[in-house]
Amino acid sequence: MNNKIREYQDKFVMKTYAPNLLLVKGVGSVVIDDENKQYLDFTAGISVCNVGHCHSKVTAAISKQAQELVHTSNLFINEQQPVLAQKLVSKGFDGVVFFANSGAEANEGLIKFARKWGSDKGKYEIITMHDSFHGRTLATLAATGRSQYRQGFAPDMPGFKHAYFNDIESIKSQVTDKTAAILLEPVQGEGGIIPADREFLQQVRALCDEKDILLLFDEVQCGMGRLGTFYAYQSFGVEPDAVSLAKALGNGFPIGAFVVQRKHENVLQAGTHASTFGGTPLACAAANAVIDVIDEENLLENCQKMSKIIFERFNDFVKKFPFVETVRGKGLMCGIKLDRPAAFLMQPLREKGLLALTAGESVLRLLPALNISEAEVESALNIIEEVLSEVEV
Ligand SMILES: Cc1ncc(COP(=O)(O)O)c(C=O)c1O
């Protein structure tokens, strides 16, 4: 690795991560390191580069907008933001959109939306799920069910309660007359690629309707086409009151958003919530291009097709390798759960040219771009099979 870059990384970058691969270029689902070694990228920047690295249409939209108008603040209207809001609404339920810059910030917005909605009714508690992940800001950390992320940052922001995912009775036991909202990921990502049961989501929706509680979906990782539908909730047939997006919305250009149902459009009014950078013309130009690419290249269809191929092979792995316990996931959120921590697989996979991820402790996670080709999927699965074959049982 380039010595100066390594030295600067070690000396000047805070050690909140421990990366050891220097990437210099990306095209589609291939990334190249500084020694010109190529890798198939089945991380997509952790569910971000859903239309592949440096997609020509997204790059062109960013370049064009960068020469016209980069930032105005939300004190002025720009030509890109309303178009993006219309696109996001046209893909799902009727409503209005607030633009932010990241997943955590989009979820902070959802939390503020719920508190504001509940403020006249004396409702402020939010029920979230054990093993969930909602971000690293203080409110989203308190919402996050994976307690290890909260260690050392006490006290937790008050107002959050945790229930068990896919367990309606556990949620019911946490509901009080102060419950404003239930927040969950339709497929838990960081927690281990765990999809909600359709029936569970239907029960949660019915509970929210009965008790006058908002249902909020965090689709930061599982939205934007990753499950083979534009919004994750469309894969389950259950509509939330509001949904957050980020990650793949800009394909790597930072942007987040949350969409609330039309009936809630006046909950957050002028002056109640804001973000200097939220929805800049540049970020929205990138996101507009991403949505056009998803449509023009039929990526939802490709996602479903590639998903089928991956899960069929994953099921074979369960039969073939005793340490592979189960298959986890939906769409192109794909996992296999091992009987041991999965981190040891990362290096051998990388040596054979595949970048993959873990989730939870014992899940090997693949999050390829939605325009991944069948040949790339086959190569990745062959590499995984080779590496699994070398594991000592
Ligand atoms: C479901 C979910 N919500 C929120 C976040 C936080 O997003 P960000 O890192 O953009 O703040 C993540 C990040 O992994 C996520 O997976």
Does any domain span residue 52? no
The answer to whether 164 and 129 are in contact (CB under 8 A) is yes
Kindly state whether residue 38 falls inside one of the protein's structural domains.
no
Sheet arrangement for strand 256-261: 95-100, 256-261, 242-245, 214-218, 179-184, 125-129, 160-163
Residue 147 has a pLDDT of 87
Report the residue among 111, 134, 226, 363 best suited for mutation to probe ligand 1: largest number of ligand atoms under 8 A from its CB. Answer: 134
CA of 134 to the centre of ligand 1 (A): 6
Domain end, chosen from 296, 315, 350, is at: 296
- Read out DSSP for 167-185? -HHHHHHH--TTEEEEEE-
The domain of 313 spans 298-327+384-393
Binding-site residues, ligand 1, Cβ < 6 A: 46, 102-104, 107, 133-135, 185, 189-190, 218, 220-221, 246
Domain boundary among 244, 275, 296: 296
Let me know if residue 288 belongs to a domain.
yes
- What is the whole-number distance in angstroms between the Cα of residue 133 and the centre of ligand 1? 7
Q: How far is CA 393 from CA 236, 321, 339, 340, in A?
A: 37, 8, 10, 10
Query: Strand runs (DSSP E) across the chain, as ranges?
Result: 23-27, 30-33, 38-41, 95-100, 125-129, 160-163, 179-184, 187-188, 194-195, 214-218, 242-245, 256-261, 324-330, 333-338, 354-355, 357-359, 363-366
Q: Are strands 214-218 and 179-184 parallel, antiparallel or unpaired?
A: parallel
The end-to-end CA distance of the chain, in Å, is 33
Q: How high is the pLDDT of residue 393?
A: 85
Atom 4 (ligand 1): residue with closest C-alpha?
134
pTM over 0.95, yes/no: yes
Q: Are residues 391 and 292 in the same domain?
A: no
- Phi, psi (deg, nearest 5) at residue 281: -55, -35
User: Which of 383, 335, 314 has the alpha carbon at shortest distance from 355?
Assistant: 383
Q: Given this model, what pLDDT does residue 177 score?
A: 98
Is 93 domain-assigned? yes
Structure tokens given for 160: 């959050």
Task: Say what the pLDDT of residue 1 is.
Answer: 73
Residues 259, 126 share a domain: yes
The number of the ligand 1 atom at minimal distance from the alpha carbon of 254 is 10
Same domain, 266 and 123: yes
Q: Which of 98, 113, 133, 160 is catalytic?
A: 133
Do 312 and 170 have their domain in common?
no
Cα→Cα distances 51→23, 243, 291, 309, Å: 18, 21, 9, 19
Q: What number does the ligand 1 atom closest to the CA of 102 have?
A: 10
Q: Are residues 186 and 322 in the same domain?
A: no
Atom of ligand 1 nearest to the CA of 190: 16
CA pseudo-torsion sign 220, 146, 136, 360: negative
Of 91, 123, 247, 330, the active-site residue reads 247
Residue 354: per-residue pLDDT: 98
Q: Are 331 and 235 in contact (CB under 8 A)?
A: yes
Count each helix (H run) and each strand (E run) in the chain, helices first: 12, 17
Exposed/middle/buried for residue 245 (C-beta within 10 Å: 0-12, 13-18, 19+) = buried
Write down the pLDDT at residue 315: 98
In contact, 174 and 183? CB cutoff 8 Å: no
User: Measured between alpha carbons, how far is 134 from 23 in angstroms, rounded to an integer?
Assistant: 27
Residue with the smallest CA separation from ligand 1 atom 3 is: 134
Q: Is residue 315 part of a domain?
A: yes
CATH number of the structural domain spanning residue 102: 3.40.640.10
pLDDT digit string (tens) for the chain, length 393 residues = 778 999 999 999 999 999 999 999 999 999 999 999 999 999 999 999 999 999 999 999 999 999 999 999 999 999 999 999 999 999 999 999 999 999 999 999 999 999 999 999 999 999 999 999 999 999 999 999 988 999 999 999 999 999 999 999 999 999 999 999 999 999 999 999 999 999 999 999 999 999 999 999 999 999 999 999 999 999 999 999 999 999 999 999 999 999 999 999 999 999 999 999 999 999 999 999 999 999 999 999 999 999 999 999 999 999 999 999 999 999 999 999 999 999 999 999 999 999 999 999 999 999 999 999 999 999 999 999 999 999 998
| Residue 90 within a domain | yes
The ligand 1 atom at the shortest distance from the C-alpha of residue 137 is 11
- C-beta separation of 248 from 291 below 8 A: no
* Residue 51 falls inside a structural domain: no
Work out which ligand 1 atom sits closest to the CA atom of 222: 1
Q: How far apart are CA 140 and CA 106, in angstroms?
A: 10
Whether 220 is covered by a domain: the verdict is yes
- The DSSP 8-state label assigned to residue 126 in this structure reads E
Query: Are 233 and 315 part of one and the same domain?
Result: no
- Is-contact 192 216, C-beta < 8 A? no
Is 37 assigned a catalytic role? no
Distances in whole angstroms, Cα of residue 135 to Cα of each of 221, 228, 240, 288:
11, 24, 20, 24
Residue where a domain stops, chosen among 296, 314, 342? 296
Phi, psi (5° rounding) for residue 240? -85, 175
Instruction: Give me the amino acid identity at 200.
Output: F
- Residue in 255, 265, 257 with CA at minimum distance from that of residue 108: 257
Going by DSSP bridges, is the β-strand pair 324-330/333-338 parallel, antiparallel, or unpaired?
antiparallel
271 and 319 together in one domain: no
Q: Is 11 helix (H, G, I), strand (E, B) or coil?
A: helix
- Candidates 129, 133, 138: which one to mutate for ligand 1, based on the most atoms within 8 Å of Cβ? 133
Which residue type occupies 119? Answer: S
CA of 260 to the centre of ligand 1 (A): 19
- Residue 219, both tokens: 């689709």
**Residues 109 and 215 reside in one and the same domain:** yes
Residues 274 and 220 in one domain: yes
Q: Are residues 217 and 312 in the same domain?
A: no
252 lies in the same domain as 133: yes
Confidence at residue 279, expressed as pLDDT on a 0 to 100 scale: 98
Domains contained in the chain, number: 2
Q: Specify the pLDDT at position 2.
A: 76
Q: Are residues 311 and 213 in the same domain?
A: no
Catalytic hit among 41, 131, 218, 241: 218
Mutate to test the pocket of ligand 1, among 49, 221, 245 (most ligand atoms within 8 A of CB): 221
